[in-house]
Structure 1
Amino acid sequence: MKSLYLFIASLTLLGACSSSPADQAANSITKDSLLRHIETLSSDDFMGRATGTEGEQMTVDYLISEFEDMGAEPAAGGNSYTQEFPLLGQSTSNAEMSVRTDGRTPFALQYYDEFMAWPANQAEEVDVRNAELVYVGYGIQAPEEEWDDFKGVDVEGKILVMKNNDPEFSPDVFAGKTRLYYGRYSYKYEKAKEMGALGAIIIHTTETAGYGWNVVANGWSRERFYLKGEGDASASPTKFNGWLTQEASRLLFEEAGLNLAEQMDAADSRDFEPVELSGVRMNVSMDADYREIESQNVIAKVEGSDPELKDEYLILTAHLDHLGITTPVEGDSINNGASDNAAGVSALLEMMEAYKSIQPVLKRSVLALVVSAEEVGLLGSQYWAENPTVEPGKVTANINLDGMNVYGKTRDVVVVGYGRTSLSDLLEEEARQQGRTVKPDPYPERGYFYRSDHFNMAKVGIPAIFPNPGTEYIDKGDNFLAVRDSVADANYHTVNDEINEYWDLSGAEIDTRLFFMTGFRALNSENLQSWDSGDEFEATRLRMLERVEGQ
Structure 2
Amino acid sequence: MSYFRKRPAIGFGLALCALAQCASAQAPLPKFLNKALAKFSAADFKAHVAYLADDRLQGRQPGTAGYQLAVDYVSGQLRKLDVQPAGENGTFRQKVRLRRAFSEPGGTLSSPGASYQSGQDFVFYPNPGQPTATLTAPVVFAGFGISAPELGYDDYAGLDAWGKIVVLTRLEPPHLAGNEKLYATDLLTVLQTAAQHGAVGVLLAATKAATPLPNLSKGLVSVLAPDSHVAVSRSYVSPQIQVVGAVSAGMLQRLFVGAATDTARTFAALRAGKAASQPLAGTLTATARSRYQEVESYNVVGKIAGSDPVLRDEYVVHSAHLDHLGIGAAVQGDSLYNGAHDNATGVASVLEIARAYARLKQKPRRSVLLVLTTGEELGLLGSAYFARFPTVPKSQIVADINTDMPTIIAPLLSVVALGAENSSLEAEVVNAATQLGLTVEADPEPAQNRFIRSDQYSFVTQGIPAVHLKYGNRTADGKNNLSEQVQKWRALYYHKPQDDMRGVFDFEAGRKYAQLNFLLGYQVAQNPQRPTWKPGNFFGRRFGNGE
Q: Shorter-chain TM-score: which interval?
A: 0.7 to 0.9
2:125 to 109, 118, 124: 118
Count of equivalent residues: 513
Query: Structure 2 CA distance, aligned partners of 1:326 and 1:538?
Result: 39
Kept in 2: contact 1:116–1:244 (CA 8 A) = yes
Paired residue type of 1:160: V
Give the aligned partner of residue 56 of structure 1. 67
The structure 2 residue matched to 1:22, chosen from 27, 30, 33, is 33
Give the 3-state SS of the residue equivalent to 2:378 in structure 1: coil
Alignment correspondent of 1:427: 429
* Whole-angstrom distance in 1 between the partners of 2:171 and 2:359: 46
Query: Which residue number corresponds to residue 263 of structure 2?
Result: 260
Question: Structure 2: how far apart are the matches of 1:122 and 1:346?
Answer: 36
Counterpart amino acid of residue 217 in structure 1: P
Q: Structure 1, residues 23-68: CA drift from partner, whole Å, max 9, x if none?
A: 2212222321210100000000111100111111111111110000
Q: Are 1:144 and 2:150 counterparts?
A: yes
Q: Aligned runs of 1:272-291 on 2, under 5 Å?
A: 272=275, 274-277=277-280, 279-291=281-293
Q: How far 1:505 sits from its partner (Å)? A: 1.8
Whole-Å Cα distance in 2 between the matches of residues 299 and 323 of structure 1? 22
The residue aligned with 1:373 is: 375
For the residues of structure 2 that align with 1:358 and 1:142, how far apart are their CA atoms?
Answer: 48
CA contact (8 A) 1:48 1:334 kept: yes
2:224 counterpart of 1:217? no
Query: Which TM-score applies when normalising by structure 2?
Result: 0.86
Query: Which of 533, 536, 543 is the aligned partner of 1:534?
Result: 536
2:117 counterpart of 1:106: no
Take 1:474 and 1:56, find their aligned partners in 2: how far apart are those partners?
Answer: 37
User: Would you say the 8 A contact 1:91–1:222 is kept in 2?
Assistant: yes
Is residue 2:294 matched to residue 1:292?
yes
For 1:137, the aligned partner's letter is G
* More moved, 250-259 vs 84-93: 250-259
Deviation at 1:353, TM superposition (A): 1.2
How many Å separate the matches in 1 of 2:497 and 2:406? 18
User: C-alpha separation between the residues in 2 aligned to 1:478 and 1:441?
Assistant: 13
Query: Which residue does the alignment assign to 1:462?
Result: 464
The code of the aligned residue for 1:126 comes to A
Separation in 1, partners of 2:185, 2:448 = 10
**Is contact 2:445–2:483 with CA below 8 Å preserved after alignment?**
no
Determine the C-alpha separation between the residues in 2 that align with 1:440 and 1:478: 13
Residue 230 (structure 2) aligns with: 230
- Which residue of 339, 342, 345 corresponds with 1:343? 345
SS at match of 2:460: helix
CA distance in 2, matches of 1:524, 1:355: 12
Amino acid of the residue matched to residue 337 of structure 1?
G
Question: What CA deviation, in whole Å up to 9, does each residue of 1:214-254 have, x standing for no partner?
Answer: 5x623x33221111221799961111112233343234224
Deviates more, 1:480-489 or 1:342-351: 480-489
Aligned 1:433-452 pairs, distance under 5 A = 433-452=435-454
* 8 Å contact kept, 1:430–1:517: yes
Q: Is the 8 A contact 1:149 1:274 kept in 2?
A: yes
Provide the residue aligned with 2:416 in structure 1.
Answer: 414
Moved more, 531-540 or 312-321: 531-540
Task: Note closer, same or farther for the CA distance 1:490–1:251 as it changes in structure 2 (3 Å cut).
Answer: farther
Which segment drifts farther, 402-411 or 83-92?
Answer: 402-411
Who is 2:17 aligned against?
A: none
Q: What residue in structure 2 maps to residue 474 of structure 1?
A: 476
Taking the aligned partners of 1:447 and 1:203, their CA distance within structure 2 comes to 22
Structure 1 residues 544 and 371, CA, compared in 2 at 3 Å: closer, same or farther? farther
Q: Secondary structure at the match of 2:293?
A: strand
Task: Choose the corresponding residue for 1:239, options 237, 242, 258.
Answer: 242
Aligned to 2:5: none
Partners of 1:322 and 1:255 in 2: how far apart?
48
Q: Which residue of 1 aligns with 2:12?
A: none
Relative to structure 1, the CA distance from residue 30 to residue 144 in structure 2 (aligned partners, 3 Å threshold; closer, same or farther) is farther
CA distance 1:205–1:27, change in 2 (3 Å): farther
Counterpart secondary structure, 1:360: coil
Residue 309 (structure 1) aligns with: 311
Q: Could you tell me how far 1:448 is from its partner in structure 2?
A: 2.5
**Residue number in structure 2 paired with 1:14:** none
Say yes or no: does 1:184 pair with 2:211.
Answer: no
**Alignment-mate amino acid for residue 128 of structure 1:** L
Indicate the SS of the match to 1:49.
Answer: coil
Alignment-mate amino acid for residue 36 of structure 1? A
* 1:310 partner SS: helix
Of residues 251, 269, 275, the one that matches 1:248 is 251
Structure 2 Cα separation of the partners of residues 30 and 480 of structure 1: 24
Cα 1:18/1:285, change in 2 over 3 Å: closer
Distance 1:238 1:204 in 2: 20
Displacement of 1:499 in angstroms is: 2.3
Superposed CA RMSD: 2.9
Query: What's the offset of the Cα at 1:484?
Result: 3.4
Distance 1:329 1:270, change over 3 A: closer
The superposition leaves residues 365-387 of structure 1 with CA deviations (integer Å, 9 ceiling, x where unpaired) of 10011110111121111111221
Pairs within 5 Å for 1:77-88: 77-88=88-99
Aligned counterparts of 1:544 and 1:372: Cα–Cα separation in 2? 30
Matched, 1:518 2:514: no
Write the distance in 2 (CA, Å) between the matches of 1:317 and 1:479: 28
- Larger mean CA deviation between 20-29 and 58-67 belongs to 20-29
Structure 1 letter corresponding to 2:366: R
Q: Distance in 2 between matches of 1:369 and 1:351?
A: 12
Identity %: 28
Contact 1:121–1:236 (8 Å) recurs in 2: no
Equivalence for 1:157: 163
Displacement, 1:264? Answer: 2.7
Match of 1:33 among 32, 38, 44: 44
Partner SS state of residue 433, structure 2? helix
2:135 aligned counterpart, secondary structure: strand
> Residue type of the partner of 1:140?
I
Mapped partners of 1:544, 1:70: distance in 2: 38
Which sections of structure 1, spanning at least 5 residues, go unmatched? Answer: 1-16, 546-551
SS in 2 for 1:94: coil
Question: Counterpart amino acid of 2:252?
Answer: S
Given the superposition, is the C-alpha separation of residues 361 and 234 from structure 1 closer, same or farther in structure 2, using an over 3 Å criterion? closer
DSSP 3-state at the match of 1:221: coil
* Cα shift readout 1:265-319 (whole Å, capped 9, x = no counterpart): 4346787363101x23223223221111111110001111011110111101111
Provide the TM-score with structure 1 as the length reference.
Answer: 0.86
Amino acid at match of 2:72: D
The residue aligned with 1:397 is 399
Verify the 8 A CA contact 2:243 2:288 in the aligned structure 1.
Answer: no
Q: Which stretch has the larger CA shift, 412-421 or 481-490?
A: 481-490
**Alpha carbons 1:116, 1:221 under 8 Å: kept:** no
Superposed CA offset, 1:327-357 (max 9, x none): 3444422110101111100001111111121
Give per-residue Cα distances to partners, 1:43-100, cap 9 Å, x unaligned: 0011110011111111111111000001110011431110102121111122545453
SS at match of 1:334: strand
What is the match of residue 318 of structure 1?
A: 320
Does structure 1 conserve the Cα–Cα contact (< 8 Å) formed by 2:195 and 2:238? Answer: no
| 1:383 equivalent among 379, 382, 385 | 385
